[in-house]
Amino acid sequence: MKPPASTSPDERPPAHSVALRRVVTVVDEAVAARYARGCVILIDDDPDVLSALAALLRFEGYAVQTFASARHYLEALDLAEPSFPGPSCLLCDLRMPETDGLALQRQLQGRDVPPMVLMSGQSLPQDVVSAFHAGAVDFLIKPFGAKELLVSVAKALSVSEAQHAGAQRQLAVATLVSSLTDKELKVIQLVAQGQTNPEIMVSLEIALRTVKLHRHRAMEKLGLDSAPALGRFAQECGW
């Protein structure tokens, strides 16, 4: 059995690590705008629930993907089809046959996937605790209202945006550090640790003029113009 397709064929299953899809047509522009607002991945074995929630979220301007089971979502996730950029989140039912929401949450541990919101009408207190301990952003008790749903979705998409921004910053920092020569890196790390130029000269057994040159070039390549800026950068790098 093939995974149930979205009611909109232009909305692809998003994942953080897949290639980005390019805007080519006018239809693409409209879909990309929805992704920029946020993509909500709905997983529920009740087709009526899927339809109702998808309609509400699309009305609010979100891109939406619907899946009738955790297995179908995992299969789509493994395909890693190109997706338009933007934040995304999972809105998953707790009680489902085969793989329930908590089991899916465990299977997704360690994978680059969107933040999750679980929902259930027959949940036990320990289910809620387990969900939050495993990293769920929120837990909705059925029946819930549209306002409650939209608040949870907005919270999860905000987490997704923060995660994406953090990942982008890490990549930018790694790129800057990789631009340094070995000597420049050693010198700037010692500067960040509080050593003076003469102390670095002794530590690395190089001339004072060479220390100053490597220090200047490293600061220039990293785009830093002060000691406080270097301190903040060093914290990001874990020096």
Q: Give the residue from 139, 171, 203 where a domain finishes.
A: 171
160 and 183 inside one domain: no
pTM of the model: 0.74
Residues 24-61 as b or e (16 or more Cβ within 10 Å = b): eeeeeeebbebbeebbbbbbbbeeebbeebbebbbebe
88 and 119 inside one domain: yes
165 and 192 inside one domain: no
Distance of CA 220 to the CA centre of its chain: 30
Note the residue count of the chain: 239
Indicate the SS3 state at residue 164. helix
69 and 121 inside one domain: yes
* Residue 230 located in a structural domain: yes
SS3 assignment for 192-238: HCCCCHHHHHHHHCCCHHHHHHHHHHHHHHHCCCCHHHHHHHHHHHC
- Report residue 112's pLDDT band, with 50, 70 and 90 as the boundaries: confident
77 and 183 inside one domain: no
Per-residue pLDDT reduced to its tens digit, 5-62: 444 434 444 444 556 777 768 788 889 999 999 999 999 999 999 999 999 999 999 9
Give dist(CA 135, CA 109) in Å, integer: 9
* Residue 16 located in a structural domain: no
Closest CA to 160 of 57, 64, 88, 61: 88
- The alpha carbon dihedral of 25, 28, 30, 32 has a sign of negative
Q: Give the residue from 154, 171, 188 where a domain finishes.
A: 171
Give dist(CA 50, CA 72) in Å, integer: 14
Element (H, E) at 63: strand 63-67
Q: Which CATH number belongs to the domain containing residue 156 in this structure?
A: 3.40.50.2300
Q: What is the pLDDT of residue 18?
A: 56
Per-residue pLDDT reduced to its tens digit, 151-207: 999 999 999 999 999 989 999 999 999 999 999 999 999 999 999 999 999 999 999
* Residue 97 located in a structural domain: yes
Record the tokens describing residue 150, joined without a space: 């939209």
Note whether 239 and 193 are within 8 A (CB): yes
120 and 162 inside one domain: yes
46 and 160 inside one domain: yes
61 and 154 inside one domain: yes
Helix axes 208-222, 197-204, angle to 10 degrees: 110
Note whether 180 and 239 are within 8 A (CB): no
Q: Which domain holds residue 94?
A: 26-171
- Proportion of the chain above pLDDT 70, given as a percent: 92
226 and 164 inside one domain: no
86 and 132 inside one domain: yes
Give dist(CA 204, CA 186) in Å, integer: 8
* Residue 221 located in a structural domain: yes
* Residue 197 located in a structural domain: yes
* Residue 20 located in a structural domain: no
Give dist(CA 100, CA 135) in Å, integer: 16
pLDDT of 89 > 80? The answer is: yes
Q: Give the residue from 171, 197, 222 where a domain finishes.
A: 171
Q: Which CATH number belongs to the domain containing residue 231 in this structure?
A: 1.10.10.10
Look at the chain and report how many structural domains it folds into: 2
Average pLDDT over residues 75-79: 86
* Residue 12 located in a structural domain: no
* Residue 18 located in a structural domain: no
124 and 91 inside one domain: yes
151 and 93 inside one domain: yes
Indicate the SS3 state at residue 42. strand
Omega of the bond leading into 143 within 30 degrees of 0 (cis):
yes
